[in-house]
Every structure is written in C-alpha cells, then in structure tokens.
C-alpha cells in the first residue's frame, strides 16, 4: 500500500519534456490504465483522441490557451480526454435534482492515466486551459461529446528547455490543504469550506 502512495507522490504537473518519443507499448499501457478504471454501472464514458499527425497536433496545440501552448508544444504525446455524456446512469435525488456521473467516471480514468504514466517514468500533465469548440474542430469531435482535458505526456526533459517563468515552476513545493481540513469524522466542519488559496495564505503566515 505504501508503495502506491509513494508512487503517487512522484506525480507532478511538470512542463519540461524530452524529445524522445513514447514507445508504442508504453503508450498503450496509458490507454489500458484508462480502460480498467471503474465507472458507474460500468458505463465507461471515457474516450481518448491522440493527435498523431503533424496537422492534427498543430491544430490541437492551437486550441490550447497561450500559456499552455508555450510548453505543451514540445510534449511527444498530446491527447484529448473526452466523455460521452449519453453513457451515463443519472441518479435522481428526492428533491428532483439529478446527479450525472460521466464527468466523475472520466475523472477517475484520467487519474489512472496520470498514475500509470508516473509509474513508467513519464510526465503526464492534464490541461483544462483550452477552447472546447477549437479542440472539437481540431480532432473532428461531434458536439454532443465533451472535451474534459488535453493531456501532454512524455519523458521528463531539462528544465532549461523552458522559458524562464515556467522554469521556476518546475520544482515548486507541492502545496495541499491539511488532512484535518480534508477529512473529518461524523460531520462537516467549517474548516472544510476554506479554499486551497486561503489555506496557502494561512499556512504561509504560520497559522
Ligand atoms: C483538471 C486539471 C486541469 C489542469 N489544467 C492545467 C492547465 O491548463 N495548465 C497547466 O499548466 N496546468 C494545469 N493543471 C495542473 C495543475 O495546475 C496542477 O495539478 C496543480 O497545480 C498541482 O500541482 P501538482 O500536480 O504538481 O501537484 C491542471 C490539472 C488538472 C487536474
């Protein structure tokens, strides 16, 4: 068990990639990790489109926001993680509100992808900073399909390959809210409502 936690702790959203291509069997293991993820009712809503040809890669890169383009352009592997909202078993609450699970299911699958990448010595960096219609246009994705994240993946490269502002971010300490604010017993605690940003401030001030 400790081994899994140690492996998960190695995952970071770094941005410097080596040019070395990801071997086909290594890449396939990423998609296997997505495939074996649990989903509600085994609905399996997650799909992946890999931007393989130079034309599609350029189009997908162009759909990212400017900040992401600067570094993601060098990642050997660029893929969009999608969800099919129709592949869902909605849960209806007593007040009539509905809980859709497709995004949650696809999130678990993406977590698997990131963990598997880390275990194989790869960086895998998810991005929400993109224009969804532009990603759809880049990869021929129909309107009823949602684009959840674009993932950049590849072997780690030298931080020196990055522009100065991004270089500094490569090894910033990983900040997380305290476990006491994450998990409580028996009832919700008001500390759980504090944002990560506010926790960062409080911890920096020594509270
Ligand atoms: C759903 C999601 C979207 C993200 N989008 C971006 C993004 O557009 N650009 C970026 O540089 N990082 C993005 N990240 C990476 C986060 O900024 C990063 O995970 C967070 O700062 C914590 O750092 P760590 O992953 O190194 O622990 C995203 C992460 C997730 C899970």
CATH number at residue 48: 3.40.109.10
Q: How confident is the model at residue 54, as a pLDDT?
A: 98
Statement to judge: residues 161 and 191 lie in one domain: no
- Is residue 127 within 6 Å of ligand 1 at its C-beta? yes
Asked if residues 147 and 135 have their Cβ atoms less than 8 Å apart, the reply is yes
Statement to judge: residues 151 and 179 lie in one domain: no
**Per-residue confidence band for 204, with pLDDT thresholds at 50, 70 and 90:** confident
Statement to judge: residues 26 and 74 lie in one domain: yes
What is the average pLDDT across 162-188? 94
Nearest CA to ligand 1 atom 4: 127
Nearest CA to ligand 1 atom 16: 13
Domain that residue 87 falls in: 2-171
Question: Does the structure show a pLDDT above 90 at 206?
Answer: no
Mean pLDDT, all residues of the chain: 96
- Is residue 110 within 6 Å of ligand 1 at its C-beta? no
> Ligand 1 centre and the CA of 170: distance in Å?
12
- Is residue 111 within 6 Å of ligand 1 at its C-beta? no
Question: Does the structure show a pLDDT above 90 at 12?
Answer: yes
Statement to judge: residues 183 and 97 lie in one domain: no
Number of structural domains found in the chain: 2
Statement to judge: residues 101 and 73 lie in one domain: yes
Over residues 34-67, the pLDDT tens digits come to 999 999 999 999 999 999 999 999 999 999 999 9
What is the average pLDDT across 145-169? 96
Statement to judge: residues 48 and 107 lie in one domain: yes
Spatial separation of the C-alpha atoms in residues 153 and 14, rounded to whole Å: 10
Statement to judge: residues 140 and 180 lie in one domain: no
**Per-residue confidence band for 1, with pLDDT thresholds at 50, 70 and 90:** low
Statement to judge: residues 154 and 183 lie in one domain: no
Q: Given the CA of residue 130, which atom of ligand 1 is nearest to it?
A: 8
Statement to judge: residues 194 and 133 lie in one domain: no
Question: Does the structure show a pLDDT above 70 at 149?
Answer: yes
Over residues 80-137, the pLDDT tens digits come to 999 999 999 999 999 999 999 999 999 999 999 999 999 999 999 999 999 999 999 9
Helix axes 54-63, 132-139, angle to 10 degrees: 170
* Residues recorded for the chain: 207
Statement to judge: residues 21 and 35 lie in one domain: yes
Statement to judge: residues 167 and 179 lie in one domain: no
Statement to judge: residues 185 and 167 lie in one domain: no
């Amino acid at each position: 068990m400790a081994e899994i936690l140690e492996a998960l702790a190695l995952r970071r959203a770094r941005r410097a990639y080596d040019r070395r291509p990801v071997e086909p069997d290594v890449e396939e293991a990423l998609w296997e990790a997505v495939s074996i993820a649990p989903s509600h009712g085994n609905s399996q809503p997650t799909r992946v489109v890999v931007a393989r040809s130079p034309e599609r890669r350029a189009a997908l890169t162009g759909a990212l926001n400017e900040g992401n383009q600067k570094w993601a352009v060098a990642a050997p592997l660029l893929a969009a993680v999608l969800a099919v909202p129709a592949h869902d078993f909605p849960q209806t609450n007593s007040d009539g509100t509905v809980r859709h699970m497709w995004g949650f299911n696809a999130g678990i699958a993406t977590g698997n992808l990131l963990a598997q990448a880390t275990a194989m010595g790869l960086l895998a960096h998810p991005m929400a900073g993109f224009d969804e219609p532009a990603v759809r246009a880049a990869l021929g994705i129909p309107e009823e399909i949602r684009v959840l994240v674009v993932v950049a993946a590849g072997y780690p490269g030298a931080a020196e390959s990055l522009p100065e502002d991004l270089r500094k971010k490569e090894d910033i300490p990983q900040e997380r809210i305290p476990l006491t604010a994450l998990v409580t017993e028996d009832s919700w605690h008001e500390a759980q409502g504090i944002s990560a940003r506010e926790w960062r401030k409080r911890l920096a001030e020594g509270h």
